[in-house]
A and B are shown apart, each in its own frame.
Chain A
Amino acid sequence: MNGVAVHLNDLRRTFGAVHALDGLDLHIEPGELIALLGPSGCGKTTALRILAGLEDADGGRVLVGGKDITGLPANRRDMGMVFQAYSLFPHLTALENVQFGLKLRKRAGGDRAAAMLELVGISAHAARYPHQLSGGQQQRVALARALAIEPQVLLLDEPLSALDAKVRVQLRDEIRRIQTEVGTTTLFVTHDQEEALAIADRVGVMRAGRLEQLAAPAEVYLRPASAFVADFVGLSNRLPGRLDGDEVVVLGTRLPLVRRAAGGPEVTALVRPESVGVVPDPAGDARVLSTAFLGPTSRVTIEIGESVVVAQVGGELLAELAVGTPVRLSLRPVPVALEV
């Protein structure tokens, strides 16, 4: 089944004095999975719920497949939704839950429901009740239920936030696999940036009711559109630098810029920890403050001049970087953003 295009035009929503949505424009291509990422209160859930019809917008339009559905009630929008918690009806088995939407449409539903449970990998538990299933299993059933009705759009409201870390990683890959297979246009809301980067075709970073950046995951990470995005997605070191044309000089190294910038010449550059190289050097002008062993990598906090830099190094290098060791820093020539 091929998905439809979704357009959110200039959505506005205020709760009292708070602007939950402040002119949100979002276009989702058919079959695409867009992750809306942002801190609490940025409006991502509000946008999703307005799309679902569970909340009214104060202004703006919602178009699905070219049709304006802004005034359409939720139960006529043909969308599948998965909630963060309490998705399933407790008095129905997994199979009955999945059949629910089909029965509402007067379809027998047994075969399709079974196929959906197979798709999400939970056929073995079809006869179980929600309280007999783990959190991850419940969300699989919720996904099957949403997809059973062949919706135009699939909406996921932080579906993994209530689950254990390992289950979360497993399930997010499953969701991506299923979504690709079925091809439904999908909007996925999360506050976990790793999740968003891992599964989305494009990531929309939101702040205070507006989209800061909407781009492919690599783009958002490597070429953040603003200091907020650079900070929210991944870690950033703030280092003083001197603007020089199209480049910025940080710690003696010339680094290209993500985009042209005006102002300066004194600026603050945002440098990723993995771009910082660390080498033990008795003559080095930097010193190790602390280390944290993270398994495959390690994080080393270094003092250089007046700045504190966090660098990411391979796990095996840690033995040589005890606290107090003098080191020499080098910066890889990847483009950096500037704090505006």
Chain B
Amino acid sequence: MAGLRARRARRQAAFRWTVLAVMAVFFLLPLAAMVEFTTRGDSGTWSLLADWPRLSETYPDLADGIVASLGQASLTALLMLVLLVPTAIWVRLRLPGLRPLVEFICLLPLTIPAIVLVVGLAPVYAWVNYFLGGSSLTLTFAYTILVLPYAYRAIDAGLSAIDVKTLAEAARGLGANWFTVMARVVLPNIRSAVLSAAFLTVALVLGEFTIASLLNRTNLQVAINFLGKSSATMSVAVSLAALILAFVLLLLLSLFGDRRKASR
């Protein structure tokens, strides 16, 4: 038998693996270079990085940056959840006419680059400084805006996947008030979407540089950049660690998200 289709499938597989191999080299090369760079000689970079007390002593700015980023990531995720999830559900259920407006606003940050936003944020943050001080954690307010497009898209997709209107009507018919509907009927059913939004938020916040740097605050990326001027090896090591952490985060997200979908 000719096996024509088997031949074509094989050619496609050959093409696929060639492309992936070439791309793999291109994309893994810098990562390999980072490993090589940070393990030259016996600089002890990695052992230092793993040792938090020594790290905070030797590179206090870096330690501050890392702590600040972790705080910002958690607070932004929290603020995003508190602000966006109820609003998204509420608009879906009670104000469907407002949905296009909310969607437009949530996608607006995609059109307004961070570098532009920070120009306009400076006066707003003057007020924030006045009321709340100049801590790096106040960047949460700006970051929540930055993550709006991605978080909204994730939550909106989750709400579209379940028939929110019918669920709400069924619950209301059984006597639930709006709060119960949102908290005990809708929310449990969009858990994976909400989790996805949280993961994306964390990844984005950990990678943010523009606003932190231009508002004269610190975070992980700012600290790495600053460190680059004094210790190239350590900055490269932290960069690599951050990249790997983000990768693991997103991989977990895709695996976890799919498993929840499959269990339905």
Once the chains are docked, how many angstroms separate the CA of A54 from the CA of B5?
Answer: 7
Interface contact A73-B4, CB-CB below 8 Å: yes
Chain A min CB distance to B1 (Å): 6
- B1-16 CB mask vs A (1 if < 8 Å, else 0) is 1111110000000000
Alpha-carbon distance A236/B30, docked complex (angstroms): 71
- The reply to whether the CB of A57 lies closer than 8 angstroms to some CB of chain B is yes
A47 and B131 CA atoms in complex are apart in Å by 75
Residue A66 CB within 8 A of the other chain: no
**Which residues on the A side are within 8 Å of B5 (C-beta)?**
54-56
Complex Cα gap A54–B6 (Å): 11
Q: Is A71 in contact with chain B by the CB < 8 A criterion?
A: yes
Report the Cα distance A58→B2, complex, angstroms.
9
Tally of contacts, chain A with chain B, CB under 8 A:
18
Main secondary structure of the interface of A (DSSP, over half): loop
Cβ-defined partner of B1 (8 Å) among A53, A54, A59, A73: A59
Least Cβ–Cβ distance between A68 and chain B, in angstroms: 11
Give the residues in chain A near B4, CB-CB below 8 Å: 53, 56, 71, 73
A339 vs B143: C-alpha distance when bound (angstroms): 73
Interface residues of B in 1-57 (CB under 8 A from A): 1-6
Give Cα distance in the complex from A267 to B154, angstroms.
63
A109-136 interface (Cβ within 8 A of B): none
Smallest CB-CB separation from A58: which chain B residue?
B1
B8 to chain A, nearest CB (A): 9
Sorting the interface of chain A by its residue count into under 10, 10 to 19, 20 to 34 or 35 or more gives: 10 to 19
The chain A residue with its CB closest to the CB of B8 is: A73
Query: How near does chain A come to B256, taking the closest CB pair, in angstroms?
Result: 30
Complex formed: what's the CA distance from A59 to B4 in Å? 14
Neighbouring B residues of A53 by C-beta, 8 Å: 4
Contacts of A59 in B (CB 8 A): 1
Indicate with 1 or 0, residue by residue over A186-211, a CB within 8 angstroms of chain B CB atoms: 00000000000000000000000000
Write out the residue numbers on chain A whose beta carbons fall within 8 Å of the beta carbon of B6. Answer: 56
Nearest-Cβ distance from residue B91 to partner chain A, whole angstroms: 28
Which residues of B are found within 8 Å of A56, using beta-carbon distances? 1-6
Complex Cα gap A56–B5 (Å): 6
A57 to B6, CA, bound (A): 11
For A57, list chain B residues within 8 Å (CB): 1
- Considering the complex, which residues of chain A in the window 19-69 have a beta carbon less than 8 Å from any beta carbon of chain B? 53-59
Closest residue of B by beta carbon distance from A72: B2
Q: Determine how close the nearest CB of chain B comes to the CB of A63; give it in whole angstroms.
A: 14
Chain A, Cβ-Cβ closest to B7? A56
CA A54 – CA B4 in complex, angstroms?
9
B202 to A: closest C-beta gap in Å: 39
A73 partner residues in chain B, CB cutoff 8 A:
4
A58 and B3 alpha carbons, distance in the complex (Å): 8
Nearest to A49 among chain B residues (CB) is B5
Asked if A70 CB lies within 8 Å of chain B CBs, one says yes
Chain B residue nearest in CB terms to A57: B1
Per the bound structure, the CA–CA distance linking A55 and B5 in Å amounts to 6
Q: Which B residue's beta carbon lies closest to that of A12?
A: B1
Give B169 Cβ to nearest chain A Cβ, in Å. 27
The B-contacting residues of A in range 73-123, CB under 8 angstroms, are 73
Distance of A236 Cα from B194 Cα, bound (Å): 53
Please, how many angstroms separate the alpha-carbon atoms of A54 and B8 in the complex?
A: 11
- Chain A residues near B1: list those with CB within 8 A: 56-59, 70-71
- Nearest CB in chain B: distance from A14 CB, A: 12
Least Cβ–Cβ distance between B13 and chain A, in angstroms: 16
**Which residues of B have CB within 8 Å of A58?**
1
Expressed in whole angstroms, the minimum distance between the Cβ of A145 and any Cβ of chain B is: 23
Chain B residues within an 8 Å CB radius of A54: 5
CA distance A58 to B6 in the complex (A): 11
Q: Enumerate chain A residues within 8 angstroms of B3, measured Cβ to Cβ.
A: 56
Cα-based distance from A70 to B2 in the complex (angstroms): 8
Among B1, B3, B6: residue with most chain A CB under 10 A: B1
Q: Which of B112-132 contact A (CB under 8 A)?
A: none
Within the complex, the shortest CB–CB distance from A48 to chain B, in Å, comes to: 15
Please, how many angstroms separate the alpha-carbon atoms of A306 and B5 in the complex?
A: 55
Q: Closest A residue to B3 by CB, please name it.
A: A56
Complex Cα–Cα for A243 and B165 (A): 62
| Bound: A57/B1 CA distance, A | 7
11 intermolecular pairs with C-beta atoms under 8 Å apart: A53-B4, A54-B5, A55-B5, A56-B1, A56-B5, A56-B6, A57-B1, A58-B1, A70-B2, A71-B1, A71-B2
Binding site for A on B (CB under 8 A): 1-6
A-to-B contact residues, CB < 8 Å: 53-59, 70-71, 73
- If A71-B4, A73-B4 are given as contacts, then 8 extra A-B residue pairs at C-beta distance below 8 Å, sorted by A number, are A54-B5, A56-B2, A56-B5, A56-B6, A59-B1, A70-B2, A71-B1, A71-B2
3 nearest A-B pairs in the assembled complex, by CB-CB distance: A71-B2, A56-B5, A56-B3
